Amino acid sequence: MPPNSVVVTIEKPNNFSLVELNGSDSSSTLFPEKQKGVSPRQFTWFIFLKANRAFVCLSWLATAFKTMFVSAKKRVALLDVEEEPKSREKLYRVIKAFLVISILALVIEVVAHFKKWNLNLIQPWEVQGLVQWSYMAWLSFRLDYIAPLVIALSKFCVVLFLIQSLDRLVLCLGCFWIKYKNLKPKIDGEAYDIEDSSTFPKVLVQIPMCNEREVYAQSIGAASQLDWPKDRILIQVLDDSDDRNLQALIKDEVLAWQEKGVNIIYRHRLIRTGYKAGNLKSAMGCEYVKDYEFVAIFDADFQPNSDFLKRTVPHFKGNPELGLVQARWSFVNRDENLLTRLQNVNLCFHFEVEQQVNGVYLNFFGFNGTAGVWRIKTLEESGGWLERTTVEDMDIAVRAHLNGWKFIFLNDVKVLCELPESYEAYKKQQHRWHSGPMQLFRLCLPAIITSKISIWKKANLIFLFFLLRKLILPFYSFTLFCIILPLTMFIPEAELPLWVICYVPIFMSFLNILPSPKSFPFLVPYLLFENTMSVTKFNAMVSGLFQLGSAYEWVVTKKTGRSSESDLVAFAERESSKSSNEEKIHRRHSESGLELLSKLKEEEKVPVKKKRNRIYRKELVLAFLLLTAAARSLLSAHGVHFYFLLFQGLSFLVMGLDLIGEQMS
């Protein structure tokens, strides 16, 4: 038999059995095409293809970094630094001190790394130079004093982190069960006789606003088109604007809808105290309010659908214990930029999971301040609107809950509104939202303890609603990921495990994104964004808890006046609204109207001061702290720790230079 041969035995037509295979080159003989090598031309094309892909990737990265560098250079050149009250300066100084210490430690660590000092083999008398002596002293001090303290603090924060993660997981499981069982509030039969308007309850609609030039027309228009009997509804436009020209424009808009037969009135306070709570409290004091049974509240940028009242008010019928029906928010500008996309993730989880689960299982949640319908009797029995905090909506909700009233959340009823498009506006909004609950907690704690509600409800209010979700969450987020983690790079004895900085946070971020599945590509940016915002939330929480001056700040969130997802449509509507206002003023031919028109013309000629993006010092200092820790991590060849610190530091840098969100020209 030849050396390179194969013997095949055929037992059945479709069954081949290999009997013998001889020779090392048998496969080459049987399959001669395998002997063909790659031609030089094919290899050249393969190299060119790989090089082209690498070039495209590098050029994209270079363009991105160049754009970011140019923007950062302009931002630094303008040097419009955020002005903060003195109460916030303390946190900035503490972070700056950590940065200075970290830089000094990094310098010594770099020297020790390149000189390959092995201090376990060096006797004290063999120490050479001040730097080596300083390094030995640092190691000894770190081991005896700093490491035990950092380890204890990190373990405490990890425990809080796990408790909060468990709470988040339970909420998600509750949401899944609601979806699986289709648990949601339902209206039994026909609530009211459509042919007999007297069967409809009388509803008061309130639109509080303050200097809302961009959105007043669309909110008034949306409220005026609510589908409800005209004799059973009254719309109050509660204008707290301090601009007389704007007051005249809003009043003119109200008059225009009055001419169309809408039961709407304009109201302006002479003494503007108490912010939004004072405005609502003043409006509820009107004599005619006693004739109304329910009140619907919409902020100036909210645009309810015409069937809003018919989908919310009927839930009160036959349910005398129900005090509030809350609808969900929907956002017209959620895809405007990265900042709005990340906000959308947060708020989708808040409504889809937190509000819905608490509404179904506890009949209690925090009122969102707008897009809700209250039973007026509930407000009166709970003490009405109070001006003691910056979260008047949460305040009235807690007091109503303590009085035994129940709440309903409607996840399928959505009201259009806007998200803040600039980082400055979003930061101020978050400061108010996180300082107010701590003010309220201090004020409400005695009332919660002495109330007649069950022990379970008291425990839920104190430990879950306030402590865990309003205090512990910003505390551990900032302390663990922005302070302890970078410090552990210089204190290896306290190094955090991978599951704390990687696996659990990613899993929690995955759960947060589930209610908005289109946001999955932003999973990692969302995780970094939440950690970056923790410095603002922590600062707000501390100021509210200890009643610092910044806890009482109230800044109206800037609006752009988007009435649809198309900027062109919104722009056209604003322009047509502006021209129609002038036409109305001309049409009335009154002396006051002519004066107003002349004022508007003069106002247009006045040059408007250009707004600029700012620089935020705390975020920048934290960025350099994290990047310094990343450099130290690189010396120790930490994989995940290095990348986390690097990208988290870069995210703080982007925030500090205000490169996220709306960019001013």
Cβ neighbours, 10 Å, residue 261: 9
CA distances to 78, 79, 142, 537 from 88, in Å: 23, 20, 29, 12
SS (H, E, C) 318-378: CCCCEEEEEEEEEECCCCCCHHHHHHHHHHHHHHHHHHHHHHHHCCCCCCCCCCEEEEHHH
CA distance 339 to 333: 10
Which of 252, 245, 291 lies closest to 596 in space, CA to CA?
Answer: 245
578 contacts: CB under 8 Å, gap ≥ 6: none
Tokens representing 488 are 């552990």
Q: Which residue has the tokens 């930490």?
A: 638
Exposure b/e, 18-43, CB count within 10 A at least 16 = b: eeeeeeeeeeeeeeeeeeeeeeeeee
Kindly name the residue from 239, 240, 299, 301 that is annotated as catalytic.
240
CA distance 494 to 547: 34
C-alpha dihedral, 98 to 99 to 102 to 107, nearest 10°:
-150
Angle at the Cα of 328 from the Cα atoms of 527 and 553, rounded to 5 degrees: 65
80 tagged catalytic: no
- Where do the H-state alpha helices sit in 451-519? 455-459, 473-478, 485-488, 498, 504-513
239 tagged catalytic: no
Kindly name the residue from 239, 252, 301, 393 that is annotated as catalytic.
393
Q: What is the CA radius of gyration of the chain?
A: 32
Q: What phi, psi does 454 have (nearest 5°)? A: -65, 160
CA distance 303 to 573: 14
CA distances to 91, 208, 423, 429, 654 from 617, in Å: 11, 34, 14, 18, 12
CA distance 8 to 20: 7
Bridge partners, residue 266, by sequence: 237
N- to C-terminal Cα distance for the chain? 86
CA distance 474 to 438: 12
Which of 540, 525, 389, 523 lies closest to 474 in space, CA to CA?
Answer: 540
CA torsion sign for 252, 253, 257, 262 is negative
Exposure b/e, 300-315, CB count within 10 A at least 16 = b: bbbbbbeebbbbbbbb
CB 22, CB 5: distance < 8 Å: yes
Report the run of H or E that residue 103 belongs to, with start and end.
helix 86-115
CA distance 590 to 581: 14
Positions annotated as catalytic residues are 240, 393
